[in-house]
Amino acid sequence: MKSLIATAFFITVLTAVPAMAQTQASDIGKLEYTENCAVCHGTTGEGNGPISGLMAFGPVADLTTISKRNNGVFPFARIYGIIDGTEEIKWHGTRQMPIWGTQYTAKGFRSTFEATPSDIESYVQGRIVALVGYIYSLQKK
């Protein structure tokens, strides 16, 4: 009986952990988006954030149509590059001073937790991946 309970518990944990990890990544991505993107792109990603009308360069990009503008393919690597600064776009500023500063680099990392992650580079990359995943979730079908 004990082994049956242990087996059931083990199976439950194995099936629950991936779902929990996915939810946590989604939550992190949404938090990153809300804190760093929504002011321009809006909470829905449609380019209607509270300061979108103040932009001198023209309308803010509608992030919900990225896949549509790329023949149905979401360009994960390009979006990642825009966020990490390897792909420059004029609206986000220069790589030395992007609109969100250096927070998506290991050099600019500042811990908001009591303990700093042991692998800061991987931690920052994880935040970017979570943000890109959230932007992907905003795509209109």
Q: pLDDT tens for residues 3-32? A: 544 444 444 444 444 444 455 666 889 999
Tell me if 87 sits within 8 A of 81, measured CB to CB. yes
The reported pLDDT for the residue numbered 57 is 74
Give me the mean pLDDT over the 82-86 stretch: 84
The reported pLDDT for the residue numbered 77 is 95
The reported pLDDT for the residue numbered 138 is 97
What pTM value is reported for the model?
0.73
* Mean pLDDT of the residues in the chain: 77
Tell me if 23 sits within 8 A of 17, measured CB to CB. no
Nearest in space to 35 (alpha carbons), one of 92, 103, 84: 103
Query: Which pLDDT tens digit goes with each residue over 99-118?
Result: 666 677 777 666 555 556 67
Number of domains in the chain: 1
Expressed as residue numbers, the domain containing 80 is 2-137
